[in-house]
Chain A
Amino acid sequence: MIVLEKRPQPSRAWSLATPVLAVVATMVFGGLLFALLGKNPVEAIRTIFWDPLFGEFAFYYRPQLLVKGAPLVLIAIGLSLGFKAGIWNIGAEGQYIMGAICGAAVGLAFYPLDAWYVFPLMVLGGALGGWAWAMIPGILKVRFGTNEILVSLMLVYVAEQLLASMSLGLLKNPEGFGFPGSRNLNDYPSASSWISQDLGMHWGVLAAFIAVIFAYVLLNRHMAGFHIRLTGDAPRAARFAGVHPGRLILFCLGISGALAGLAGLFEVAGPAGQITIDFNTGYGFTAIIVAFLGRLHPVGILLAGGLMALTYIGGEAAQSQMALPAAAIQVFQGMLLFFLLALDLLTNYRLRLKTREVA
C-alpha cells in the first residue's frame, strides 16, 4: 500500500522540482491526447513549446509573448499576495475590466488634447478603477463577513455588463459609424501605452517587471509581507503578532485589484486599443493558474506567466497549423494546473510503499 507521510519540514528540492515535473507530465499526457486525436504528438508539442521561441517565425511570436505574458504576470502578482494570506480574490477579471474602462474614460475625456500628463492620469484611473472594484468584496467581507470568493466572482459579470453598456453608450466612438466600441486609443499618441510595438514593449511589460521586484521585496524584506505570509501559515499566530485581519484583507484585495486594473488599462491603451464588448479575454482567470503555477513566488510567477503565454501562443499556432481543436488546447492548459496541484503534495509529504500492518 502506498502511504503519505508528512515531512518534518517542506522539502525545498521538491518545491523547485514539482513545477518542472508538472510540465513534463503535461507534455506526456498532452502528447497522448493529441495522439488520440490523430495528430503527431511530437510535432504538436514542438509547435506549442518550441516554435514560438526558436522556430522560423519566432520574430513574429516573441513580441506576442510579452504582450500576452505581461497582464498575466501583473495580475497574478497581485493575486498571489492575497492567496498567500488565504484571501481569495477570484474576480481579477472584473477588476481588469473596470481598470480598462476607468483608464480609457480618463484618456477619452482628454481627447484630442496632446499633453504628457494624459497617460499618467490614465494609469492612475486604471489603478483606482480596479482598486475600487476590489474594495466591494473587501469591505463586504470585513463589515459583514461575506465570502470574498463569491462576491468578487459575481462582480466579474457585473463588470462585463458595464463593459457592454460602455461600448454601446457612454464611451462609444462618436465617429464610429454606429459600430459598438470606443475610439481607438492607438490613434491618440498621448494615450497609448506602446513603447515599441515591433518589440511588443508597452508600459504594462515594464509594470509587470516592477511588480515582480516590488512583490519580492515586500514578501521578503517588509513587515507587511511578513504579516501576509504569517496570516497564511497561522492566522492565530498572525493576530498574536499584531496583524489586524480586516486591514490585511483590504490591503491584499486593494493591491490585487489595483494591479488587475493597471493590466486592463495597459491592455486597452495598447494591444486592444479600444473598449469593446468582448474586450476581456480571460486574463483575470488565467492569472489564477499563473499564480499557483508560480508557487505564489514572484519569480516563479514571472516564469509561469511566460510559460502560460507560450502555451497560448503555441496553442493558437497549433490550432491554425495542425487543425487541433481549441478544446484540446484548453484541456492541455487544464492538465498543467492539475498536475501542478497534484504534484505539489510531494513538497509536504513523501510517498512510501508499505505493507499494511496486520496482526
Chain B
Amino acid sequence: MSETLLSIRGLTKAYPGVVANSDVSFDIGAGEVHALLGENGAGKSTLVKMIYGLVKPDSGSMTLRGAPYAPAEPRAARADGIAMVFQHFSLFDALNVAENIALGMENPPPMRDLARRIREVSETYGLPLDPFRTVGDLSAGERQRVEIIRCLLQDPKLLIMDEPTSVLTPQEVEILFKTLTKLSAEGTAILYISHKLEEIRTLCDHATVLRLGKVVGECVPRESTAREMAELMVGTTLQTPTRAGRELGPVALALRGLSAASPSQFGTSLKNVHLEVKQGEVLGIGGVAGNGQDELLAVLSGEIPTDEGAVELKGAGIGRLGPTERRRLGLLTAPEERLGHAAAPDMSLTENAMLTGSVREGLERRGFLKWAAAQDFAEKIIKAFDVRTPGPDNAARSLSGGNLQKFVIGREVLQRPDVLVVNQPTWGVDASAAAAIRQALLDLAASGAAVICISQDLDELMEIADRFAALNEGRLSEPRPTTGLTVDEIGLMMGGAHGMEVAAVG
C-alpha cells in the first residue's frame, strides 16, 4: 500500500441517547478504494459527516497527509481536497447541468468555460454528460454523474461516496465502477459506503466494518466471502428466509393494459401495464427509482382511479374503487414513504393502526371508532413484528425508520390480505429485521395470498420472488421466473444503461 492519505484516530461522537461513533480508527491510503461497511444505524453516516466537516467529533483526531485535520465546515474539507457524493442528490430539476454545478461553486467561471470543463472531465472519466440538458429530464444515473462531476471539478484527493449504486441499473453500476477504478489508479482515494457486499468485493481494496458505532473488523474484501462480511456486519449468524414449495392458485390480481398519468409533474406515467399474479405467488418488480413505482402502488391502492377493467381482483374490475373498498375486498398495500404516506407522523401507533385497519379488523361500526380494539391491534403488530417502542401511544414520528417500517408492513400482513402490494419493504431496515419482513411476506404467500413486492434491492427480489419483472419509464417488462435469471438479463429488463452509451474508458 502506498503512503497514508487520511488517518483517523479514536473518533467519538455521541448524540443524546445514542453513541453514533465510539473510538473509531482506520487509515485510508492514497489511491485506495476503502469500503465502509455496516448496517443502517451502525454509524457510517456520522463518521463521513465528521470527515466532511458537517459534524464535529466529541473527541479523537484526524490527520491528512501528515498534518492535523479538523474541518470546521464542508467548505474547509473541500479546500483540503475532500469531496462527497451524497445518497440523496441536491440538484434543481428546473436548471441545467452546468447551472447546477455553478451553484455549488465558490467562484463559478463563465458558463462557457464551465461547460467546456464539464465536457473535458466527463470525457476523461467516461461519464458522458451534456452540460446544457435540464436536470429534470435526466435519469437517476445521469443525475449521479452530475454530482460526481461536480466533485471531480474540485480535483479531490479523497472522494466519499454514500451508497452510490442504490439508484443504478447493473449496467450503470459497471460504468460507475470503471470510473472509480480509473480515479483510484490516478491516485484519488475513494471512501465507499455500502451494505451491498458483492459490489464491495468487486471494487474495494480494503474494508472497515462498523457495528453500533464501533469498528468490529477489517478485511480485504476480495479474500473474504460475502457471508463472512455480512456476519461481521450483523454480529450474528444470518437467517436466510426459507421458501416452502407452494401450490399456485388461480389468478388473484391482474392489470390489463393499465395506463395512468402521474399526479406529480416530475413523476412517471404508467404505460400499458399488463401483469397477473396468482394466489401463493410472489411477483418481484424491480427497476431504478422514479420509473413508475410510486404510481404503480397508487394505482393498486386505489389512490389513483383508473378504468374499471384495468385492475382486476379475483376476476372483478375494481379500477374505480377507492382504498377503503379495495381493502374490504382483500387488496392491501404498503407504500414506500413511511412518514406522511403509510403513516401519519404526529399520530399515535393506535391511530395509525386505525388508518388502514378499520375495515378488515372491525375497528369501526357505523362510522364510530373502537379505540380499544385499535389499541389491541396496534399492540398485536408491535408484538408480532418486534417493533421497538415504549407502547402504542407513541407518535409514529418517534420511531426509528426501521421500526416504523416493521409496523407498517406488520399492519398489512396481519390483516390477512388476499393480495398484498409492498413498495420497498425493507428500505432502511437492518439486516435481521429485513430478513424477518421477507420471511413474513413468504409466509403470507405460503398461506395462499398473492404478493407483489416492488423493490430496488435486486438481491431481495431474487431471494423472495417467484417471477421478476422490471419497471422502466412506466412500462413493465414481461415477467420471467427468477430461477436462472442472470444479472445481465435483469439489467437489460431494467432498461440497460438508460440510453446512456457505455463510453470507452481510456
Binding site for B on A (CB under 8 A): 8-10, 221-224, 226, 229-230, 233-234, 236-242, 244, 357-359
Name A9's contact: one of B340, B369, B395 (CB within 8 Å): B395
CA of A229 to CA of B323, assembled, Å: 18
Q: State the 8 A-B residue pairs at the shortest beta-carbon distance, nearest first.
A: A359-B72, A242-B324, A242-B323, A9-B395, A234-B344, A8-B398, A233-B344, A236-B341
Contacts of B301 in A (CB 8 A): 240
| Set A10, A222, A230, A357: member contacting B355, Cβ < 8 A | A230
Whether the pair B345, A233 counts as a contact (CB closer than 8 A) is yes
Please, which residues of chain A bring their CB within 8 A of the CB of B371? 221
A261 to B340 CA separation, bound complex (whole angstroms): 35
B369–A221 CB distance below 8 A:
yes
B303 touches A239 (CB 8 A): yes
Contacting pair A242 B397 (CB below 8 A): no
- Between A and B, 15 residue pairs with Cβ closer than 8 Å are A10-B346, A221-B368, A226-B369, A230-B344, A233-B344, A233-B347, A234-B346, A236-B337, A237-B355, A240-B301, A241-B324, A241-B355, A242-B327, A357-B56, A359-B72
Query: How near does chain A come to B73, taking the closest CB pair, in angstroms?
Result: 8
In the assembled complex, which residues on chain A have CB atoms less than 8 Å from the CB atom of B325? 242
User: Which residues from B are CB-within-8-Å of A240?
Assistant: 301, 303, 323, 333, 335, 341-342, 355-356
User: Is B32 located at the chain interface by the 8 A CB criterion?
Assistant: no
Interface residues of B (CB under 8 A from A): 56, 70-72, 76, 301-303, 322-325, 327, 333, 335, 337, 339-347, 351, 354-356, 358, 364, 367-369, 371, 394-395, 397-398
- Least distance between B341 CB and chain A CB atoms (Å): 4
| Residue from the list A10, A223, A241, A359 in contact with B369, Cβ < 8 A | A223
Most-contacted residue by chain A among B70, B301, B344, B354 (CB, 10 A): B344
Query: A223–B340 contact, CB under 8 A?
Result: no
Instruction: Output the nearest chain B residue to A237 by Cβ-Cβ distance.
Output: B344
Contact: B342 with A244, CB < 8 Å?
A: no
A8 to B371, CA, bound (A): 23
Q: A240-B342, A359-B70, A359-B76 are in contact. List 19 more A-B contacts (CB 8 A).
A: A9-B395, A9-B398, A222-B368, A223-B358, A226-B351, A226-B369, A229-B347, A230-B355, A233-B345, A234-B339, A234-B343, A237-B342, A237-B343, A240-B301, A240-B341, A240-B356, A241-B356, A242-B325, A359-B72
CB distance from A354 to the nearest CB of B (A): 12
Establish whether residues A234 and B70, one from each chain, have CB atoms under 8 Å apart when the complex forms: no
Which residue from chain A places its CB closest to the CB of B323 in the assembled complex? A242
Query: Contacting B322 at CB < 8 Å: which of A226, A234, A236, A242?
Result: A242
In the complex, residue of chain A having the shortest beta-carbon distance to the beta carbon of B354: A226
How far in angstroms is the closest Cβ of chain A from B244?
31
Q: Nearest chain-A residue to B347 (Cβ)? A: A233
- Closest residue of chain A to B328 (Cβ to Cβ) is A242
User: A9 contacts B367, CB within 8 Å?
Assistant: no
Residues in A neighbouring B354, C-beta threshold 8 A: 226
Closest CB in chain A relative to B417 CB, distance in Å:
15
Give min CB distance, A229 to chain B, whole Å.
7
Q: Is the CB of A8 within 8 A of B395?
A: yes
In the bound complex, what is the Cα–Cα distance between A244 and B325 (angstroms)?
12
CA distance A358 to B380 in the complex (A): 48
- Write the nearest CB–CB distance from A57 to chain B, whole angstroms: 46
Interface centre among A233, A238, A244 (most CB of B within 10 A): A233
Are A223 and B303 CB-contacts (below 8 A) given A9-B398, A233-B346, A359-B70? no
In the bound complex, do residue B368 and residue A358 qualify as a contact, i.e. CB atoms below 8 Å apart?
no
Beta-carbon contact of B341 and A242 below 8 Å: no
Specify the chain B residue showing the minimal Cβ separation from A224.
B367
Is B340's CB under 8 angstroms from A236's CB? yes
Chain A residues with CB under 8 A of B367: 222-224
Report how far A239 CA is from B351 CA in the complex, Å.
Answer: 15
Instruction: List the A side residues contacting B364 at CB < 8 Å.
Output: 223
Q: Contacts of A237 on B, CB cut-off 8 Å?
A: 340-344, 355
Write the nearest CB–CB distance from B377 to chain A, whole angstroms.
15
Which of chain B's residues has its CB closest to A223's CB?
Answer: B367
With the chains together, A223 CA to B345 CA distance in Å?
19
Shortest A233–chain B CB gap in Å is 4
Q: Nearest-CB distance from B356 to chain A (Å)?
A: 6
Determine the distance from Cα of A224 to Cα of B339 in the docked complex, in whole angstroms: 22
Task: Please state if B72 and A230 are interface contacts (CB–CB under 8 Å).
Answer: no
Q: What's the Cα separation between A236 and B344 when bound, in Å?
A: 9
In the bound complex, how far is the Cα of B76 from the Cα of A358, in angstroms? 13
Return chain B residues, CB-CB under 8 Å to A226. 351, 354, 369
Which A residue sits closest to B72, measured CB to CB?
A359
List of A residues within 8 angstroms of B342 by Cβ: 237, 240
How far in angstroms is the closest Cβ of chain A from B305? 10
Closest A residue to B395 by beta carbon equals: A9
Expressed in whole angstroms, the Cα–Cα distance for A55 and B386 within the complex equals 61
State the CA gap A233–B343 with chains docked (Å). Answer: 10
Residues of B within 8 A of A244 (CB): 322
Name B339's closest neighbour in chain A (CB-CB): A234
Smallest CB separation, A159 vs chain B (Å): 33
B-chain residues with CB within 8 Å of residue A239 when the two chains form the complex: 303, 323
Distance in angstroms from A12 CB to nearest chain B CB is 11
Using Cβ atoms and an 8 Å threshold, which residues of chain A touch B56?
Answer: 357, 359
Distance of A308 Cα from B447 Cα, bound (Å): 61
Chain B's closest residue to A359 (CB) is B72
B345 near A234 (CB under 8 angstroms)? yes
Residue numbers in B under 8 Å from A357 (CB-CB): 56
- Please tell me if the beta carbons of B344 and A242 are within 8 angstroms of each other in the complex: no
Q: Given the complex of chains A and B, what is the CA–CA distance between A242 and B72 in angstroms?
A: 48
| Docked-complex contact A222 and B369, CB < 8 angstroms | yes
Q: How far is the CB of A49 from chain B (nearest CB, A)?
A: 34
Query: B340 near A234 (CB under 8 angstroms)?
Result: yes
Docked Cα-Cα span, A52 to B70, in Å, equals: 66
Question: In the complex, which residues of chain B have a beta carbon less than 8 angstroms from the beta carbon of A8?
Answer: 395, 397-398
A95 to B301 CA separation, bound complex (whole angstroms) = 38
Nearest-Cβ distance from residue A230 to partner chain B, whole angstroms: 6
For A9, A224, A237, A244, which residue has the most chain B Cβ atoms within 10 angstroms?
Answer: A237
- Which residues from A are CB-within-8-Å of B344? 230, 233-234, 237-238
Closest to A6 in B: B397
Query: In whole angstroms, how far apart are the Cα atoms of A221 and B369 in the complex?
Result: 5
CB distance from B466 to the nearest CB of A (A): 27
CA–CA, A9 and B324, complex, Å: 29
Residue of A with least CB distance to B358: A223
Q: Whose C-beta in chain A lies nearest to the C-beta of B355?
A: A241
A94 to chain B, nearest CB (A): 31
B88 to chain A, nearest CB (A): 19
**Whole-angstrom distance between the Cβ of A346 and the nearest chain B Cβ:** 16
Question: A150–B366 Cα gap in the complex (Å)?
Answer: 36
Q: With A and B bound together, what is the CA distance between A239 and B339 in angstroms?
A: 14
Residues in B with CB closer than 8 Å to A221 are 368-369, 371
* Chain B nearest Cβ from A9, distance in angstroms: 4
A234 to B346, CA, bound (A): 9
Taken together as a complex, chains A and B put the C-alpha atoms of A329 and B208 apart, in Å, by 68
A222 to B368, CA, bound (A): 4
Collect the chain A residues with CB atoms within 8 Å of residue B397's CB. 8-9
Contacts of A9 in B (CB 8 A): 346, 394-395, 397-398
Per the bound structure, the CA–CA distance linking A8 and B348 in Å amounts to 12
Closest chain A CB from B170 CB (angstroms): 32
CB distance from B259 to the nearest CB of A (A): 20
